[in-house]
Structure 1
Amino acid sequence: MNIVITSQELPGINDGGGIGVYVLSWAEMLHNQGHNVRIVTLDPGKAVNLNQFPMKVDLIQTDPHFGHGALAYSYALYQHIRRLTHELHWDLIEFPDYLGEGYFTIKAKRLRGEFSGTVLRVHGHMSLELCDTINQEIPQQDRLLTYHMERYAMQYCDVLSVPARDLETQYRQFIDRNIIVTRHPLPHLPKTPLSRENEAVYEESDPILLYVGRLEYRKGVDLLIKAAIMLWEQGTSFQLWLIGKDTLYQHESYQKLLERLIPSIYRTRVRFVGGVARDQLYEFYRQATAVVFPSRFENWPNVCLEAMALGCPIIASKAGGMREMLAHGAGILINPEHTPSFAMAIDHILKDTNVRNELANSAQQALAQLTIDPNKILEQVVNTTVPPAVSVDVHHWPKVSVLIEERLKDVDDALHKTMESLHQSGYPDLEIVPIRANPFTTLDEWCPQGSVHGEFVLWLQAGERVTGSFLTDAVSILQRHLDIDAVYPMVTVAGQSDSCYVVSEGNVEQILLPAGSLIRPVLRYDTWVQHIPENLVMHPDDSTAIWRLMIQLIKSGMVAEMIPVLGVENVKGATMPFMRRLWWEADDELFGHAGRNLAIWTSKMCDETSLLAKDSGEFQDFLHYLGRHILHYLPKGVASRVKKVVKRFTR
């Protein structure tokens, strides 16, 4: 088979973690079975030796037109895969779930019919959304977009697979589809276990309990420290060694939080080792009496496999894949949230040599049961039934009514540019319907429905230019997918032709973000006429009419999707005063009363006006709260303006 495997991380190129280790192990296993395998990974921006790999490795750079990192990589990957398919037919292309790498490629197959005959697989490692949820992260807008990319890729890929049944259970909470369980290949592991010659010295010195992994809330290191403190208070003596790099938890060092948990009398018993190179790690395993992995949730951790291969006695959380790795007595499985039973397990394993020896032997036997047959996994993946794409009658193109708002001073020249771009698009049946700019008092005054005869409707402003095959793509998609009511393209903004803007699909909260004013939809006529806002009077300069329509449609349950093509250039978004007015009018239904008040205060502060009570204690308290707790959740552009005002008016 011809197989492409993608990952932003790869050992020997840009390092990374477990995903890269999996990709390299899986690719090598498939290569050794005679398959043609190609890895695509992120270019590290420095010289690397690609000859170290037995298969071909392609390095790609993120697309510079995107300001969002995950989008920039996913789009660059999509374009690279398109080039690869011109060279060769690929039977299977595999993406990780993390960061939604396959988002654009999967969207292109689902909507545009690309990559026909190729199975697009997403394999589960733990999505950013799941990691953030367990880590109690409150996401900013860029992360919400990444979550959407991950969910979309998992929902619409041809095959979604996971290595552990607990991860399958997690994903079924928000993904309604078939999920198959396929084990990971074993990574390169030590061939022989460590010598246990140091067992005899445990009675003469404190035993060592070893943790290996990032210092991260999800990893449960705080739960481990609480269990250790309980034992120390009961008189049990041992050393706790923590190996792993520090991370942030709620915007501060997680290691510092852990250090504050430890009473001063026990601090000499805890050693924060930091990150350790893999070739040095085995010495720590050799010195350890037992190894512990107390994660709140874990997928299929390589560190646990390494400890099993080295014959280390293991205590591990039963939340996740380690429950399957260590089944049938290969380790002590615990609920790390229950401190007394966790402490009891530690005490038991540290004090009983026989238990440790039995666990070490059982772990190695269990490891042998985790080997996989790559051809059986390929058969399971590739033979998954993929529904055929719905065909479109290319001999009949329905009429598209193009509604063009005439709001510019030099409207004739702007209208000419828009009309010229529509003619160059090559769509065979267009109807141009100029519509009035604001204000309007009745619906017919704004856009006479009697002038619209198309089966589909496209909204534009004079001066905006349709590009490429956007119209034919949009109509084809709406004909194939009767469950989709509207589609809209990626766009470039007037004066910013070097940047490409993508508006996330999904709920009204996403469409309400400032980029929502850049949506230029093609939608079904019947959907449009059912939801046009009535009795809406707008300021002559207010350019939010199309945006308001999209919000109304999505509130009414319409399904809209972005298509992976640059479809409209020179788009003019709404200006901030009219954005605020739209948000204000949307207030209670979308944000709730408290959210509306915050939006009002933010708007006032961005204007740096209406600050009559700026010297009051209540207002000063609000400024401090805004600066400490709210700023990092706001979009960057808004946050920078608010920060200036907070600095100016805070006493």
Structure 2
Amino acid sequence: MPLRTAAFAVPGDLQTLTGGYIYDLRLLTGLRGLGWDITHIPLGASFPDPSKKDMHHAAQQLAMVPSTAPVIIDGLAMGAMDHDVLTGMTAPIIALVHHPLAHESGLPRDKRDKLFRTERDNLALASHVLVPSPHTAALLGSDYDVPSDRITVARPGTDRPIGRLAKTQPPLILSVGIQVPRKGHDVLLRALAQVVDRPWQAVIAGSALDADHASLLARLVDELGLSNRVRLAGRVSGEELARLYGQASVFALATRYEGYGIVFDEAMAYGLPIITCATGAVPETVAQGAGLLVPPDDHDAFADALAQVLDETEIRDRMVAASQTAGVALQNWDGTSRLVADVLDRIAKNAQDDR
């Protein structure tokens, strides 16, 4: 039986350690394991603010894909491409929207508006749209005019921990997220500064993708007197991240917005109590009872939640139990890949029938 053919267009380095890139890499690997001949099309790293060179290269690469081979296009590129690039394709398009580009924190109003219009218009050209959460599906329907029957929610998979590590002392508060404004690490630092009378240590793991914001975080650590308590670890290996999860006692992410948040699934897989913000897809991702959710951009409320989890053993134990229960029930990556493979099958069949 011949392999089924498709393509997967992703801007930048597929090995980048962010939730979106981890999703893309695991999906690419999983689809190949299910018998799909998936061509990885690497697009320029300048997306979602593409250079003329990267846009031209994208147009050339995508125009070469046969009309019967569906192309999954990652949202970093899909939402920022010139409309003509997509209309110049003959292959059916499957958009993969981790979260709408206009929902990134800190964007100037004019850029936010432009990204919204571009992404809305481009999504109208997609045969189908993949999203990681019901929240994002609803948002694309209400704000971006994508019909619900063209959207599939393909939740990220989760790997199970191998073995258990001893918890560090003092308790380790772990935060995982790239160093960009949306992840709210500045809010977390200000909250941590309010609970310095308690024993804890903290690690913030995540690449410094925004150099200016990374510098701000480093200054905050010094200005708030947290240098001996907080480590900005930057990018860490998968093995190191697993070790940190295993040693942590609390997971804390003061995010301003998430289209899903793979890190919450990872934290629940390790049975960690979670402190985060009630924004985007977070309330539907963090299992009931496993987390304390506070308003975004409220470091006082975040500090109160940290103090509650650090001080109240009974509350913490209940959160741990809820997190462990949810973690056991999480879908693996094979389930995610099979769901997307079904979408590819349908789109590919329609493309064949239209020939």
Which bracket does the TM-score occupy, shorter chain normalised? 0.7 to 0.9
Letter in 1 for 2:282: M
Task: Kindly provide the CA deviation profile for residues 439-480 of structure 1, in whole angstroms up to 9, marking residues without a partner as x.
Answer: xxxxxxxxxxxxxxxxxxxxxxxxxxxxxxxxxxxxxxxxxx
Matched, 1:99 2:104: no
- Separation in structure 2 between the aligned mates of residue 374 and residue 209 of structure 1, nearest angstrom: 32
Match of 2:262 in 1: 302
Describe the shift of the 1:358–1:10 C-alpha distance in structure 2 as closer, same or farther (beyond 3 A).
farther
Q: Contact 1:9–1:19 at 8 Å: present in 2 too? A: no
Give 1:27's aligned residue. Answer: 28
2:124 corresponds to which letter in structure 1? Q
Give the partner amino acid of 1:21: I
Which residue of 2 is the match for residue 289 of structure 1? 249
1:553-584 superposed Cα distances (whole Å, 9 cap, x missing partner): xxxxxxxxxxxxxxxxxxxxxxxxxxxxxxxx
Offset of 1:157 from its aligned partner?
A: 1.1
How do residues 533-552 of structure 1 correspond to structure 2 at under 5 angstroms?
Answer: none
CA contact (8 A) 1:99 1:146 kept: no
Question: Residue 167 of structure 2 aligns to a residue in which SS?
Answer: helix
For residue 198 of structure 1, give the secondary structure of its aligned residue in structure 2: coil
Query: Secondary structure at the residue paired with 1:7?
Result: strand
TM-score w.r.t. the length of structure 1 is 0.45
| Alignment of structure 1 residues 347-496 onto 2, 5 Å | 347-371=307-331, 372=335, 374-379=337-342
**Which residue, 6, 10, 13 being the options, matches 1:3?**
6
Partner Cα distance (1:29, 1:22) in 2: 10
Q: Do 1:27 and 1:37's aligned partners in 2 also have CA atoms closer than 8 Å? A: no
Whether the aligned pair in 2 keeps the contact of 1:159 and 1:381 (CA below 8 Å) is: no
Cα distance between partner residues in 1 of 2:18 and 2:53: 18
Q: Is the 8 A contact 1:194 1:311 kept in 2?
A: no
1:211 to partner: Cα distance = 1.4
Q: Per the alignment, do residues 5 and 265 of structure 1 end up closer, same or farther by CA in structure 2, a change over 3 Å counting?
A: closer
Contact 1:99 1:147 in 2 (8 A): no
Q: Counterparts of 1:22 and 1:130 in 2: how far apart (Å)?
A: 19
Residue 40 of structure 1 deviates from its aligned partner by 1.9
1:177 equivalent in structure 2? 146
Q: 58, 63, 68: which is aligned to 1:74?
A: 58
Question: Would the alpha carbon gap of residues 259 and 123 (structure 1) be closer, same or farther in structure 2, given more than 3 Å must change?
Answer: same
Give the alignment of 1:618-633 within 5 angstroms.
none
CA shift at 1:69, angstroms?
A: 4.6
Q: 2: distance between equivalents of 1:67 and 1:25?
A: 28
For the residue of structure 2 that corresponds to 1:210, the secondary structure is strand
Q: Tell me the percent identity.
A: 19
**Partner secondary structure for residue 268 of structure 1:** coil
| Residues 18 and 177 in structure 2, CA contact (< 8 A), matched pair in contact too | no
Find the structure with the greater CA-based Rg. Answer: 1
Give, as a single letter, the amino acid of the residue that structure 2 aligns with 1:106. Answer: L
1:345 deviates by 1.7
In structure 2, what is the equivalent of residue 501 of structure 1?
none
Give 1:262 shift.
Answer: 5.9
| Residue type of the alignment partner of 2:167 | N
The answer for the alignment partner of 2:272 in structure 1 is 312
The 8 Å contact of residues 10 and 41 in structure 2, kept in 1 or not, is answered as yes
Matches of 1:67 and 1:136, distance apart in 2: 18
Counterpart in 1 of 2:203? 241
Q: What letter is aligned with 1:77?
A: Q
Return the offset for 1:75.
Answer: 0.5
Q: Which runs of 5+ in 2 are unaligned?
A: none
Instruction: From the superposition, tell whether residues 343 and 154 of structure 1 become closer, same or farther in structure 2 (CA, over 3 Å).
Output: same
Match of 1:123 in 2: 96
For residues 1-34 of structure 1, the C-alpha deviation after alignment (integer angstroms, 9 at most, x for no partner) is 53322212454xx54633332223223333333x
Q: Whole-Å Cα distance in 2 between the matches of residues 223 and 264 of structure 1? A: 12
Residues 97 and 198 (structure 1), Cα distance of their counterparts in 2 relative to 1, 3 Å cut: closer
Partner of 2:184: 220
**Structure 2 equivalent of residue 37 of structure 1:** 37
The change in CA–CA distance for 1:186 and 1:387 in structure 2 (over 3 A counts) is: closer
Higher RCO structure (Cα 8 Å, ≥6 apart): 2
Across the aligned residues of Structure 1 and Structure 2, the Cα RMSD in angstroms comes to: 3.7
Residue 247 of structure 1 and its aligned partner are, at CA, apart by 4.4
The structural deviation recorded for 1:106 is: 3.4
Question: Structure 1 residue aligned with 2:157, among 180, 186, 198?
Answer: 186
Q: Name the counterpart of 2:285.
A: 325
Letter in 2 for 1:122: A
Structure 1: tracts of 5 or more residues without a match: 45-60, 389-651
Deviation by residue 1:273-304 (Cα, 9 ceiling, x = unmatched): 23222222233333322111211001223333
- Partners of 1:155 and 1:3 lie apart in 2 by 20
8 Å contact 2:258–2:279 — kept in the other structure? Answer: yes
> Residue type matched to 1:107 in 2?
T
Is the CA contact 1:209–1:289 (under 8 Å) kept in the aligned structure 2? yes
Q: Secondary structure at the match of 2:228?
A: helix
